[in-house]
Amino acid sequence: MNLGAAEHHDAAARPAAAQQSGALRRIEVAGVGRVFEDGFEALASASFEVPAGSLTVLVGPSGCGKTTLLRMIGGLDAPTSGAVRFLGDAGTLPPPRTAFAFQEPRLLPWRSVAANVALPLELAGVPRGERLDRAASMLERVQLADAGRKLPGQLSGGMRMRASIARALVTEPELLLLDEPFGALDEITRHALDDMLLSLHARLGMTVVMVTHSIVEAAYVGSQVVVMAPAPGRVVATVRPGFAQRTPALRATPEFAAATAGIMRSLAQAMVPAGGAP
């Protein structure tokens, strides 16, 4: 119904975003390792590239260092070896405008959903009218247009997570980092939110790096899937599922089964202890 206005907003916002992100071509994760202060090696050495505008998924079991790696890409943690570089045509760039969404929605329970979504703008000093407008349009994008005045406690788990994604997107980030955002939801809700994420990504065009422990989710949303294994954390394969069209029915096709099987095979080979196979 309000689609015309939303599209118009897109058209207005996009060139600005393109100008800034136009400079970013790819994120280079070059031999990144992290040893914690207690000597625990969370990540041995990870190397791969995240093309600008891609949706890259880091998938692996607990303890494979995927969250640590995501935090280092976002600048919340520093590598003990290697480096994360943001590359443009003319060399290294400063880190792009980055937003996070976590496994928990992390909404302030005393604030309305709209005020929660507007929080990053409020902290950045954006005037009240503008930030509420932007929060409202972002809530519309995540199909929460009618929930803006509610409190987080009145929403379902899936709706809270959508509000959390809207809050991350409200700053129009060039890089969106998602740490198991749908991990606490039931499978059917998770599938619906995966579809929502894909359509947001297609419309807004930001670079997304997402951590998950669900192979099905990784194969479905990832334009690139980085498969990781634990003890010590490392990258064991990089897969590009390359589906022509991603609709909910894709999950039931043989080619999708083949893609998940490929990821499982990489994981199974990596998880066999060295010399332990008969």
Partner 1 sequence: MIRRAFHAAFPPVAVVVALLAAWQAAVWAFAPSEFLVPSPMAVARALRDGSGQLLAAARLTGLSAAAGFALAAGIGIVLGSVLSASRFLMRGLYPIATLLQMVPLVAIAPLLVVWCGYGARTSIASAVIVSLFPVLAATLDGMRSTDPGLVELFQVNRATRLQRWWKLELPWAIPSIVTGLRIAAGLAVIGTIVGEFVGAFAGEDAPVGILITSALRENRTDMVFAAVFVASAVGFALFGVVSLLGWVLLRRWHASAR
* Residues of this chain, 178-217, that bind partner 1 according to CB under 8 A: none
Which of 5, 16, 106, 258 forms a contact with partner 1 (CB under 8 A)? 106
Q: Where are the alpha helices (DSSP H) in the chain?
A: 3-21, 66-73, 113-117, 119-123, 128-141, 157-169, 187-204, 215-221, 254-271
Q: Site residues for partner 1, window 140-159 (CB under 8 A)?
A: 151, 153
Q: Which of 110, 253, 257, 268 binds partner 1 (CB under 8 A)?
A: 110
Residue 109 makes contact with partner 1 by CB under 8 A: yes
Encoded one letter per residue, x for contact with partner 1 by CB under 8 A and - for no contact, window 118-137 reads -xx-xxx-------------
Please work out the total of residues on this chain that contact partner 1, with binding judged by CB under 8 A. 16
Q: For partner 1, which residue of 35, 53, 95, 102 counts as binding (CB under 8 A)? A: 102
Shortest distance in whole angstroms from residue 111 CB to partner 1: 8
Task: Put the strands of the sheet holding 81-88 in their side by side order.
Answer: 91-93, 81-88, 26-35, 41-51, 234-239, 224-229, 55-59, 207-212, 175-179, 98-101
Identify which range of 19-27, 108-116, 191-199, 258-266 contacts partner 1 by CB under 8 A. Answer: 108-116
Calpha distance 161→181 (Å, rounded): 7
In the complex, what is the shortest distance from the CB of residue 263 to partner 1, in angstroms, rounded to a whole number?
29
Minimum CB distance to partner 1, residue 88 (Å): 23
Among 10, 28, 41, 104, binds partner 1 (CB under 8 A): 104
3 beta partners? none
Considering the complex, what minimum distance in angstroms separates the CB of residue 226 from partner 1? 22
Q: Whole-angstrom Cα distance, residue 250 to residue 243?
A: 9
Query: Smallest distance from the beta carbon of 207 to partner 1, in angstroms?
Result: 17
* Closest separation in Å from C-beta 232 to partner 1: 25
The whole-angstrom distance between residue 265's C-alpha and the CA centroid of its chain comes to: 24
Question: Measured in Å, how far apart are the chain's first and last C-alpha atoms?
Answer: 63
What are 41's two structure tokens?
Answer: 């090696």
Shortest distance in whole angstroms from residue 188 CB to partner 1: 26
Instruction: Give me the amino acid identity at 214.
Output: S
108 touches partner 1 by CB under 8 A: yes
Quickly count: other Cβ atoms within 10 Å of residue 87's Cβ.
Answer: 16
Q: Is the peptide bond before 127 cis (omega within 30 degrees of 0)?
A: no
Neighbours of 275 (CB within 10 A): 5
Residues lying near partner 1 in the complex (CB under 8 A):
74, 76, 100, 102, 104, 106, 108-110, 119-120, 122-124, 151, 153
